């Protein structure tokens, strides 16, 4: 029985992924609210028959070519569907809503919240990669859900209560305070960075999309969690950003996907990650005799790797 539900979770995810593809196409073009039109071919405008719209399978059956005009269909469509399906399957296994052969309603609710969050972040990341924007619809819906959950499901905030000591308040009030202060810290921090960037570089360093996005993240994660998210995103973003700019020469990679990744890492593993970053790792650096040479050696290797990549790019950079 559990297997049936696991397959159902993957299928549900793939179908949601298909809907995310619609969002990814329509939101940045501002045509999402123009009535419930059926999906049509972006090349020739012909209506797409429903069997060709089947998630993943439709693309496989058509071998990546549109039925109407034989134009190539981007592999991104089945990829988004597959990734969302795999994510839903992973979340189903992680939340394990089967307890003693029965579905546990609390865990189902947690699974649905996770699923909403992951879907929102997948759509936001892909849109940011294409258009370098984080759409308001996704940010505001996430912010609203985060604040409501702070009030009605304060268990989500139990691991990082700033307001833990305010015992006279009920858990709902503390959860809501954690949620709203997270939104203010996340949004405020990114807003200050945007203002400083404008002063320093005399141009728009960051769109307000990031500000709203981090308010959304803070509503789910609280003030401590949103700081950890930013730290993780900065580390991931600078490592990948340096590699990408060395390999492709494109220095403008969008920050959204890294914020989304840091968001998910904090959401699922926040307490463990902050313990590692602020306790285990500094303690190991202080106490272990091989810590300093190891870290220096690693930095040296990274530098060598970067120079090697750079020379590769120079050699191949004539095209």
Which stretches of the chain bind Zn ion, using CB under 5 A?
41, 43-44, 46, 66, 68-69
Q: Is 103 left (phi over 0), alpha (psi -120 to 50) or beta?
A: beta
Shortest distance in whole angstroms from residue 69 CB to Zn ion = 3
CA distance 233 to 268: 15
Calculate ∠ Cα 306-307-313, nearest 5°: 90
Shortest distance in whole angstroms from residue 68 CB to Zn ion = 4
Q: Which residue is nearest to Zn ion (CB)?
A: 41
Closer residue to Zn ion, CB minimum distance, 41 or 205: 41
Shortest distance in whole angstroms from residue 73 CB to Zn ion = 9
CA distance 213 to 17: 21
Shortest distance in whole angstroms from residue 127 CB to Zn ion = 23
Shortest distance in whole angstroms from residue 77 CB to Zn ion = 14
Q: Is 88 left (phi over 0), alpha (psi -120 to 50) or beta?
A: alpha
CA distance 282 to 262: 21
Closer residue to Zn ion, CB minimum distance, 25 or 268: 25
Closer residue to Zn ion, CB minimum distance, 41 or 54: 41
CA distance 18 to 84: 9
Shortest distance in whole angstroms from residue 172 CB to Zn ion = 52
Closer residue to Zn ion, CB minimum distance, 12 or 41: 41
Closer residue to Zn ion, CB minimum distance, 44 or 304: 44
Go through 253-292 and write b for each residue having 16 or more CB atoms within 10 A of its CB, e for each that does not. bbbbbbbbbbbbbbbeebeebbeeeeeeeeeeeeeeeeee
Closer residue to Zn ion, CB minimum distance, 72 or 164: 72
Shortest distance in whole angstroms from residue 123 CB to Zn ion = 24
Distances, alpha carbon 90 to alpha carbons 6, 61, 156, in Å: 9, 26, 19
List the one residue out of 228, 225, 188 whose CA is nearest residue 210.
188
Closer residue to Zn ion, CB minimum distance, 73 or 261: 73
Closer residue to Zn ion, CB minimum distance, 45 or 316: 45
Shortest distance in whole angstroms from residue 44 CB to Zn ion = 3
Distances, alpha carbon 255 to alpha carbons 32, 192, 201, 315, in Å: 24, 16, 18, 29
Per DSSP, 278 falls in state I
Give the residue ranges of DSSP H helices in 162-290. Answer: 171-201, 208-248, 256-275, 281-287
């Amino acid at each position: 029985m559990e297997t049936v539900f696991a397959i159902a979770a993957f299928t549900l995810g793939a179908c949601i992924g298909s809907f995310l593809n619609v969002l990814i196409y329509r939101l940045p073009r501002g045509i999402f609210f123009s009535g419930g039109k059926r999906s049509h071919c972006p090349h020739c405008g012909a209506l797409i028959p429903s069997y060709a719209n089947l998630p993943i399978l439709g693309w496989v059956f058509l071998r990546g070519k549109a039925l109407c005009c034989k134009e190539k269909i981007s592999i991104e469509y089945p990829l988004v569907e597959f990734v969302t399906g795999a994510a839903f399957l992973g979340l189903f296994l992680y939340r394990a809503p089967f307890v003693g052969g029965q579905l546990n309603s609390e865990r189902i609710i947690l699974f649905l919240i996770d699923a909403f969050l992951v879907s929102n972040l997948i759509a936001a990341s892909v849109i940011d990669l294409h258009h370098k924007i984080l759409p308001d619809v996704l940010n505001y819906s996430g912010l609203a859900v985060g604040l409501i959950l702070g009030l009605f499901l304060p268990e989500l905030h139990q691991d990082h209560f700033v307001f833990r000591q305010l015992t006279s308040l009920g858990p709902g009030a503390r959860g809501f305070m954690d949620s709203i202060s997270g939104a203010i810290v996340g949004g405020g921090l990114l807003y200050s960075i945007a203002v400083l960037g404008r002063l320093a570089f005399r141009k728009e360093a960051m769109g307000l999309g990031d500000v709203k996005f981090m308010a959304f993240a803070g509503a789910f994660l609280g003030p401590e969690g949103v700081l950890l998210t930013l730290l993780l995103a900065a580390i991931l973003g600078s490592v990948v950003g340096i590699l990408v700019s060395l390999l492709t020469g494109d220095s403008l990679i969008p920050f959204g996907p890294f914020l989304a990744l840091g968001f998910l890492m904090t959401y699922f593993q926040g307490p463990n990650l902050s313990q590692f970053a602020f306790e285990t790792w500094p303690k190991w650096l202080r106490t272990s005799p091989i810590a300093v040479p190891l870290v220096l050696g690693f930095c040296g290797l990274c530098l060598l790797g970067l120079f090697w990549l750079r020379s590769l790019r120079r050699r191949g950079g004539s095209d």
